[in-house]
Amino acid sequence: MFNRKNTKFLLTGIMLLSSIISVHAVEFGVFGDVNYNDTSQAGGSNAFALGSLDFYAMQEIDDKTRAFFEMVFEEHDNQNFVDLERLWIRRNLNDNLNISAGRFHTPLGYWNRNYHHGALLYDTATRPGFLDFEDGAGSILPLHFVGILFDGKVRAANGSLGYELQFGNGPSYNTSAGYGGGEIEVNNISDPNRSKSPGARITYNFNDIPLTLGLAAMSNNISESGLSGNASGIISGQTLVQQFISAADLEFKGDKVDVLAEYYSLKNDDKFGSAGSHTGKAYYIQLGYQITASLKPVYRYESVNFDDNDIYFLILNRRQENRHVLALRYDLSESNVLKFQAMNVSPKTGGAYNEYIIQWAFLIP
């Protein structure tokens, strides 16, 4: 079967192959989810619904530099959208410092910095309503930015201290079509004004207990992005709201019990009208209990409260509400998960309703 020549060739080939040092290939992955929704809301209906399809990849370009992108295909109001959610290049400067440039999730809170757009990663079928992304109906926070990010981790007494510092284009809003007609704009390639948004988050991980604490802050001059003046005489680039966001978050991940909580305070100053300064707040607390390795019930309480005259929430046309979310997560494997969720939504103005979701979320690694 083998002659001597072939045998030598084969052995040489095996030896050659075995001496090759592998390098990192591009690491691709896909997150996706499919849902069935029902609601008790007047005029609502039940439906099967495609969630988002999330492609991401990361590659080590050299021994100190890596690049990453995340693109999400999703549908709103029966229209397809492709969003470049994250795109960055990062250089490791030393053991405690990286510098990155591109588009990121803002360093605000645990959920935004850890779950990104991957439905499989979180235990409930939906994100907390006020942490919806900028194109979500309930979003109140600028959750993406384009600019530069410094981050790193240093060892501390009984744990490690992580930090993230952002500096980038500030969010804006187009009021040309009135209030509530659009979304917070991230400004990927331009910025209506010269004011940039600084932000920071520090986290502390304990060595002995599975606990992470975080504190974050961000300052924004939210400007008009409409090209021409609107009915109120606001011109492009004019500051609508001067905003300061402060936040705290906690993650405890025990063997059986886990707790997630985030609190946000949004101080909003009206810069073109006379609504004045107001502070809104939003928070959630989520408790999970791992019954078996694959079965986990979760409860979450969410609340959004602000002054009726707060110009920021008037512009966004958001509402005050409380939510109770009860979910059961069943891990079929590491790469696909079934979630059953019941949610009670109570707007401050009345008209509480329930929503029910069955979600099958997956990861193609």
Partner 1 sequence: MGKFKKISNWIIASSLLFAGLPCFADVVVVANKAITADSLNAKQISDLWLAKSEFISGSGKVVVVDQVSGTPVYNYFYKNIVKKNGSQLKAYWAKIIFSGKRLPPSVLANDAAVIEWVASTPAGLGYVTGASVNETVKVLFRSP
Q: What is Dmax (Cα atoms) for the chain?
A: 92
Site residues for partner 1, window 92-121 (CB under 8 A)? Answer: 95, 114, 116, 118, 121
Of 166, 310, 320, 145, the C-alpha closest to 242 is 310
Amino acid at 236: S
State residue 226 phi and psi, 5-degree precision: -65, 140
Residue 70 interacts with partner 1 (CB under 8 A): yes or no: yes
* Residue 240, C-beta contacts closer than 8 angstroms, at least 6 positions apart: 173, 175, 222, 223, 224, 234, 270, 271, 272, 311, 315
| Rounded Cα gap, residues 298 and 354, in angstroms | 17
Among residues 86 and 323, whose Cβ is nearest to partner 1? 86
- CB 3 to partner 1: min, Å: 7
Exactly one of 83, 85, 88, 222 binds partner 1 (CB under 8 A); which one? 88
248 closest CA partner among 206, 288, 281:
281
Q: Using CB under 8 A, which of 32, 37, 51, 56 touches partner 1? A: 56
Considering the complex, state which of residue 21 and residue 189 has its C-beta at the smaller distance from partner 1.
21
Pairing of strands 336-347, 321-331: antiparallel
CB nearer to partner 1: pick between 29 and 136: 29
Contact track, partner 1, 9-48, x by CB under 8 A:
-xx--x--xxxxxxxx--x-x-x-----------------
Residue 336: CB atoms within 10 Å: 16
Q: For residues 31 and 312, which CB has a smaller minimum distance to partner 1 in the complex?
A: 31
- Name the residue nearer to partner 1 (CB basis): 231 or 293: 293
The answer to whether residue 208 forms part of the interface with partner 1 (CB under 8 A) is no
Taking the complex as a whole, the smallest distance from the CB of residue 121 to partner 1 amounts, in Å, to: 6
- Whichever of 24 and 76 has its CB closer to partner 1, that residue is 24
Check binding of 157 to partner 1 (CB under 8 A).
no
Are 234 and 308 a contacting pair, CB within 8 Å? no
Tokens, residue 148:
């530069």
Instruction: Report if residue 7 touches partner 1, rule: CB under 8 A.
Output: yes
User: What whole-number distance in Å separates Cα of residue 265 and Cα of residue 236?
Assistant: 27
- Counting contacts by CB under 8 A, is residue 334 touching partner 1? yes
Q: How many CB atoms lie within 10 A of CB 309?
A: 13
The backbone torsions φ and ψ at residue 109, rounded to the nearest 5 degrees and listed phi first, read: 75, 175
Comparison of 38 and 60: residue with beta carbon closer to partner 1: 60
Taking the C-alpha atoms of residue 328 and residue 295, their distance in angstroms, rounded to an integer, is: 7
> To 5 degrees, how large is the angle CA 171–CA 174–CA 177?
160
Residue 29, class by beta-carbon neighbours within 10 Å (0-12 exposed, 13-18 middle, 19+ buried)?
A: middle
Instruction: Check residue 335 for interaction with partner 1 (CB under 8 A).
Output: yes
Instruction: Decide if residue 4 touches partner 1 (CB under 8 A).
Output: yes
Residue 173, H or E segment: strand 172-173
Using rule CB under 8 A, residue 312 touches partner 1: no
Instruction: Give the 3-state secondary structure of residue 69.
Output: strand
For residues 70 and 355, which CB has a smaller minimum distance to partner 1 in the complex?
Answer: 70
Interacting residue with partner 1 among 53, 58, 235, 250 (CB under 8 A) = 58
Q: Whole-number minimum distance, CB 29 to partner 1, in Å?
A: 4
Q: Give the one residue of 60, 132, 135, 269 binding partner 1; rule: CB under 8 A.
A: 60
Query: What is the binding site for partner 1 (CB under 8 A)?
Result: 1-4, 7, 10-11, 14, 17-24, 27, 29, 31, 56, 58, 60, 66, 68, 70, 86, 88, 90, 95, 114, 116, 118, 121, 155, 333-335, 363, 365
